Amino acid sequence: MSIPPKKPPVFTASDWIVLAAGFLAGAMNAIAGGGTMLTFPALLAAGLPAVMANTTSTVALWFGMPGSVWAFRHRLREMRSWILPLGIVSLVGGLAGALLLVRLPESVFEAAVPWLILGATILFLANEPIRRWAFAHAGDRDPDQPPRWGNAFQSLVAVYGGYFGAGIGIMMLAGLGLLGIRDLNRMNALKNLLALLCNTAAMLFFLLTGSFDGRLALILLVGSVPGYFLGAHFAQRVPAKVVRFIVAAIGLSIAASLFAKR
């Protein structure tokens, strides 16, 4: 009598890893950022190619971003003259980055990934010094409009955001400081909105082209929602430096591993 083949488990071990990564990523993003440094390697471990792991992470983690924009909605009213010009280039740049990610050969992204992760990790480590430096070099008051070169700078940041995205918030804070904004709450409000616009363009492109794994994106999303909630609840109790140190250690380990494989 032949033995019927065993059915594969509905929820595999790699699925649990992705779920846990989503939860921790949501908590990290609510406290100090850096969630992509967990979700991307977890999706790689689940067997996704590098490009699809990146697109799946972008789609899943997008759903936690509108809440951070809503929290600063009152500050955004004070930055109306900045939103339109920088918002447009953020949408266009995010779409361009997503297009480059999907259309270029996967080997290009695979070769760039170790450097992107290493660069993002360095940015996370340098977050506070960059923030202080940008604040110190801002003008005496917040300007009414961004200078022209600000659009070019934000365009480049948005392209990077659509292509990979880890550390984009730190880049924006540094850029907004150089553009003259002194109020930290206004910086964060504008940064959150521009990051949302950039990732919205990329996420919609990935959705329309089907260039992501819907099942793993859903698992990530299910994990990240309680992670965002608990992270926001304990944000004042967990030192951001501790979270940033953990993210940096993970990032350096992943980068070293990828460099060794190549």
Where are the domains positioned within the chain?
15-261
Band of residue 92 on the pLDDT scale cut at 50, 70, 90: very high
Contacts (Cβ under 8 Å, ≥6 apart) of 214 = none
Query: What integer pLDDT is reported at residue 120 of this predicted model?
Result: 80
Helix axes 184-209, 50-61, angle to 10 degrees: 120
Among the listed residues 59, 60, 139, 45, the one whose alpha carbon sits nearest the alpha carbon of residue 94 = 59
Question: Measured over all CA atoms, what is the biggest interatomic distance in the chain, rounded to whole angstroms?
Answer: 85
pLDDT in tens, 149-198: 888 999 999 999 999 987 787 788 778 877 877 777 788 788 889 999 99
